Amino acid sequence: MLHAHLIRLNEISEKFFRTFRPLHENYWFALRASVLVVIHFFKCEKCGNCCRYSPPVFCEDEVIKISEYLGLAIENLPLERYEFLSKTYYKANSPCPFLTDDNKCSIYEIRGRACRAFPHEWLMYSLVPCYCPAIPKALERAADFIANHTEDLKRAIAMMENELRLLASDSKFKEQMRSLEYSPLVKKLFEILND
């Protein structure tokens, strides 16, 4: 069963990557615009697998919010503190300690950027998490959409080159888009396509 799932996911991923590559000479522009299409079609199935197999890393400001939200001191949160490049982060163990038995996030309203950006952030770097059942469906729908709207997407990418460039070069812009689940870019892309 797992083997068949992985083979099917690989086929869908290859179809998606073959479909988006002709959209722009710059691989990253083509990929990121195509991921915006995937985000448009992505429907979370609330299985909790992302929380089980890809527990988040939180920035210090996010942990402060979690601490306040739960009414616990930071040192009492089930997170491991570490330093990286002069910044403080906190990582969760697997499964995420904020995942409840009914696959709900106990801190959903204030979840961190890593949580908000899943799986979109992975896809932005050509990574396809195999444990998310919603990804193959979104990739397949996106590949079909891209195949049927190639010229329109090329035009949209040309109109969004500045934003696509900022995703790669401006960390503040990228963090803002991550925290907003890339929704402003998805909205802009589909407004251009629907024009």
pLDDT tens, the chain, 195 aa long: 667 878 888 899 899 999 999 999 999 999 999 999 999 999 999 999 999 998 899 999 999 999 999 999 999 999 999 999 999 999 999 899 999 999 899 999 999 999 988 898 888 888 888 889 999 999 999 999 999 999 999 999 999 999 999 998 999 999 899 889 999 999 999 999 998
Spell out the residues 6+ positions from residue 43 whose beta carbon is closer than 8 angstroms to its own: 134, 137, 138
Structure tokens at 39: 């985000």
What's the pLDDT at 189?
Answer: 97
Query: Letter for the amino acid at 129?
Result: P
What angle (nearest 5°) sits at the alpha carbon of residue 60, between those of residues 58 and 63? Answer: 65
Cα–Cα dist 144/69, whole Å: 42
Chain centroid to CA 187: 16
Helices marked H in the chain: 2-20, 27-41, 49-53, 60-70, 113-116, 120-124, 134-148, 150-159, 161-169, 171-179, 183-194
Neighbours of 116 (CB within 10 A): 16
Q: What is the pLDDT of residue 59?
A: 94
Whether the upstream peptide bond of residue 22 has omega within 30° of 0, thus cis, is no
